[in-house]
Amino acid sequence: MDRMTLKCPVTIKAKVTDELKRKMVAEIQDNIKKVDLEIQQVEFQGKRMLTEQAKVDAQGLPALRQKIDMERKKRLDFKNHLLQKLKEAEAIENGSEVVQGQLERLVEIKVGDDMQSIMNAEILLEDGKIVAFRN
């Protein structure tokens, strides 16, 4: 056998432009708003559940309160993570490159091929359009 077909990863990178930066910041801000809504829902539902629990069995209140606090903390931690990502997105310089994801491709290889260049394939995008293939 002197040839073989493999599935190899292809990294998708995007060149940072004002447009990409605007989209990244807007997406993160939308996610922050969603998390804020989730936090409000947890607090609202938590109050309702605590009221119901108090009517049924007051001894279960501390455990329920702890569970509600854990849910709130989980969402607050995620919100803080998003706020950090927002700072990073705003600080990215135009012209730099950011990883957008990964795809796979089929590659036919043969004896003597440079495996390193095959495994390090990249596609570079600028404002959603392909501007380069790299090996």
Q: What does DSSP assign to residue 58?
A: G
Q: What does DSSP assign to residue 122?
A: E
Q: What does DSSP assign to residue 60?
A: G
Q: What is the pLDDT of residues 74-104, one digit of tens each?
A: 999 999 999 999 999 999 999 999 999 999 9
pLDDT averaged over every residue in the chain? 92
Asked if 12 and 103 count as a contact pair (C-beta separation under 8 A), the reply is yes
CA–CA distance, 93 with 83 (Å, rounded to integer): 18
CA–CA distance, 127 with 124 (Å, rounded to integer): 10
Q: Taking residues 105-131, report their average pLDDT.
A: 90
Reported confidence tier of residue 33, pLDDT bands at 50, 70, 90: very high
The pLDDT value recorded for residue 18 is 94
Q: What is the pLDDT of residues 52-81, one digit of tens each?
A: 888 888 787 888 899 999 999 999 999 999
pLDDT of 114 over the 90 cut:
no
Reported confidence tier of residue 116, pLDDT bands at 50, 70, 90: confident
- What's the predicted TM-score (pTM) here? 0.76
For residue 4, the one-letter residue type is M
Tell me which residue has tokens 């290889």: 109
The pLDDT value recorded for residue 11 is 94
Backbone Cα Rg of the chain: 24
Residue 74 belongs to what H/E stretch? Answer: helix 61-91
The pLDDT value recorded for residue 73 is 96
3-class secondary structure, 128? coil
The pLDDT value recorded for residue 28 is 97
